[in-house]
Structure 1
Amino acid sequence: MLRKGLTRYINNFKGFSREVWILTIITFINRAGTMVLPFLSKYLKENLHFSYAQVGWIMVAFGLGSMLGSFLGGKLSDRIGFYRIMVFSLFTSGILFFALQYITTFWGLCFGMFTIMTIADMFRPAMFVSLGTYAKPENRARAFTLVRLAINLGFAAGPALGGLIIMTIGYQGLFWVDGATCILAITVFAMMVKERKKSDFTDAEQPAAVFTDSVFRDRIFWVFLFISFSTAMIFFQIFSTLPLYHHEKYGLTELQTGLLMTLNGSLIFLLEMPIVSYFERTGVHKVKLILSGSVMMAVSFYALLPDNWAGLLLVNIVLITFGEMFIFPFSNSFALSRAPKGHEGRYMALFTMSFSLAHIGSSKIGMEVIDRAGYQANWLFMGILGTSAVLCCIYLQKLLIREQERSN
């Protein structure tokens, strides 16, 4: 029975091209080394002694840089190709991570975080477009899941290792490791993957058939972007307010917070690919799955409203984890499937920009609410935001039905 289950699990990973596997490997290398992000708010608050408001503004600069980088990465991927953007982005951001540790002033960190994230997040839309080129259309949701699996497997190792590095040699070690892994990852990619501007696979879906000629007039896509923004804003609490809450309310150490995040990555490693493979085979519509995930995200923060039991932190992380397993792989696939040929970069740029905007809102609004009204008010706000995403998913389903009726 165990052997049969293991065989079925392994079968979920078959059918990918060599390039998809290499992208997965370099993503794992890069993400395992990205230890700064989960501890960034703690570093700014506890080591550099900034106020909650200042931490919020630095994270705003982080998010604004991410938005600009996402826009530039998508735009330039359509113009000069995703390959060059990926190489430039990771190599340059690796160098900049080395320098970031020496900046300790408020305005210097605002400018530094904006600059590094502008360059670093040019990588994301370019990487999404590359999956559209290197993955077969019928495997794209699984290809996105495979790359996300690498991200989360790296995330499972990274925070726990990051917590140990902080406790032994300090925060500066994180910046050196982060920069080095960026450079290592893109070096492996450049050596093993040749540039390809056109996919070898035929896309039978013909996504341009019923869609508007401009992303700015694609009403369905904009409703979808709001859902992506809302759920991402909830998810990014993991990197901003939740680590502080763990310590200030329940006295958790960096290592204990890292272990909770390791649980997140471990569950995704074990369950996400089988879940995505199952729903790809059964043909359940992506929006229904995103709706289910949105419900879980909302409930995960309603669960934190009672504040007298540390076990609720475990409930919160498990619900967030299942929410992201239902939302993010199918969101990536839905966004790329909406893009007409030649406009993939623009669509994926706006999609990744919604995450960057969520990063701004998640940190800044979250910190401001906590500063003014406390943690419980922030958890309530995030729960309500998740509820609004659920309602928008229901509306999106109706819009897609109308579009399908018009096209028949």
Structure 2
Amino acid sequence: MLQKAFKRYIDSFRGFSKEIWILALITFINRTGTMVLPFLSKYMKEDLHFDYDHIGTVMVFFGLGSMFGSWIGGKLSDKMGFYKIMIFSLLTSGMLLIFVQFVTSFIGMCFAMFGIMLIADMFRPAMYVSLGAYAKPENRTRAFSLVRLAVNLGFAAGPALGGLIIMGIGYKGLFWVDGASCIISILIFATLVKEKKLSTHENHEDTEKAVVKSVFQDGPFWIFLFGSYLTALIFLQLFSTLPLYHSEWYHITEFQTGLLMSLNGLLIFFLEMPMVTFLERKQVNRLKLILWGTFLLSLSFFVLLFDNWAGILIVSIIFMTFGEMFNFPFTNSFAMSRAPKGHEGRYMALFTMSFSLAHITSAKLGLGIVSRHGYTTNWLVMGILGLLSCASILYLKRIVAQSK
């Protein structure tokens, strides 16, 4: 039985082209190297002596750069091709990250973070479009899952490695390693992967593709973006209000919070690929899966209202993880499938921008509610926003079904 389960797990990783594996590898190297991010606020507070208002303002510029970079990257991917944008983005942002350590003023950091994220996040829509070129249509959702797995593994390894670097050579070392990881990963990509046009394979199952002149005329896609934004907004509480809640309400240590985060990563590592493979084989409707994922994310906040038992944190993280696994691989896939030929970059740009916007608003909204009304109100608000996202996806599902 165990041998059979292991075989199925291994089989879920079969069928990918060499290019998809290289994309996963460079994503892992790049995300392991983004160890600056978890320590950026700490660096500005301890090394640059910024106050909390200044740090918050820098992070807003960080998010705005991410939003504009996503849009520009998507638009240029359609005009110039994803390959050139990926190489330019990682190579340039890698060099900029090395030099940002020499920026010490508040205004300088605002412009530096905006500029770096503007260029760095041009990579994301281009990379999503590249999956459309290098993955067969029947493997596309699994390819998104594989890259997501690489992102999760990179984020798991990065902070621990970053902590060791800070202890050894200080914060400045983070900028050197982060910049070098960008440059190394894209040199590997440019050496091993040849440029390719988008796949001309027609996916006979892909009946959700929109026939429109512009992404701005695709009403159903904007409903999808609204639902994606709300889903990302509540999910990102995992990195802002939830760690504080663990400490302030249940008085658990950073190590125990780390274990809960590790549970999330381990479940994704062992279950997401086999689950996506199984659901794709059964040809389950993507919007139905996205709906279930969003509902589980919403439920992960409602269970926190039962706040007299610390074990509820484990229940919550399990609901959140399964919600994440049902939702994110299939939202990526739906966004890509919706794009008409030649508009893939624009569609993926707007999709990634919805996450960038959630990054800007999630922590500010959550922490604002907590400071004024307490954690219980925040969990209630986040759960209701999740249900609002569910309603938008239900409405979208009906529109798509009627259009068929």
Q: Report what 1:89 is aligned to.
A: 89
Distance 1:310 1:115, change over 3 A: farther
TM-score by length of 2: 0.91
From the superposition, tell whether residues 161 and 397 of structure 1 become closer, same or farther in structure 2 (CA, over 3 Å): same
- Aligned match of 2:150: 150
Deviates more, 1:150-159 or 1:17-26: 150-159
Moved over 6 A (4+): 206-209
Map Cα deviations across residues 23-64 of structure 1 (whole Å, 9 max, x no partner): 111111111222233344455566666555444333221211
Show the 5 A alignment for 1:123-202: 123-166=123-166, 169-199=169-199, 201-202=201-202
- For 1:103 and 1:320, how far apart are their aligned partners in 2? 38
Partner of 1:31: 31
Which secondary structure state, in structure 1, belongs to the residue aligned with residue 211 of structure 2? coil
Distance 1:199 1:239 in 2: 36
**Greater displacement, 156-165 / 122-131:** 156-165
1:382-401 correspondence to structure 2 within 5 Å: 382-401=382-401
Partner of 1:275: 275
Measure the CA separation in 1 of the matches of 2:38 and 2:288. 30
1:383 Cα offset (Å): 1.8
Q: CA deviation at 1:227?
A: 1.0
Contact 2:210 2:339 in 1 (8 A): no
Answer yes or no: is the 8 Å Cα contact 1:53–1:367 preserved in 2.
no
Q: Which residue of 2 aligns with 1:114?
A: 114
> 1:369 is matched with which residue?
369
In the aligned structure 2, how far is the partner of 1:209 from the partner of 1:334?
9
Equivalent residue for 1:7?
7
User: Structure 1 residue 171: deviation in Å?
Assistant: 3.9
Q: 1:305 to 1:285 in 2, by over 3 A?
A: same
Classify 1:26/1:327 alpha carbon distance in 2 versus 1 (closer, same or farther; 3 Å).
same
Q: Which residue of 1 aligns with 2:68?
A: 68
1:365-397 Cα shifts (integer Å, max 9, x gaps): 233333433444333322221111111121111
Report percent identity of matched pairs: 64
Q: CA deviation at 1:170?
A: 4.4
Aligned match of 1:360: 360
- Equivalences for residues 258-407 of structure 1 within 5 A: 258-307=258-307, 309-404=309-404
Gaps of 5+ in 2: none
> Which whole-Å CA distance do the structure 2 matches of 1:372 and 1:216 have between them?
38
Once the two structures are superposed, residues 66-113 of structure 1 have per-residue CA deviations (whole angstroms, 9 ceiling, x without a partner) of 110000000000011100110111112122222334444443332222
- CA–CA distance in structure 1, aligned partners of residues 206 and 288 of structure 2: 22
Aligned residues: 404
How many Å separate the matches in 2 of 1:242 and 1:43? 22
Compute the displacement of 1:119 (Å): 0.8
Alignment TM-score, normalising by the size of structure 1:
0.90
* Mean Cα deviation higher: 317-326 or 116-125: 317-326
**Contact 1:208 / 1:340 at 8 angstroms: preserved in 2?**
no
Distance 1:326 1:160 in 2: 28
Residues of 2 paired with 1:64 and 1:97: CA distance?
17
Q: Can you give the 5+ residue segments of structure 1 that lack an aligned partner in the other structure?
A: none
C-alpha contact 1:236 1:359 (8 A) present in aligned 2: yes
* Structure-2 change in CA distance of 1:107 and 1:364 (3 Å): farther
Choose 111-120 or 185-194, whichever is displaced more.
111-120
Mapped partners of 1:17, 1:281: distance in 2: 19
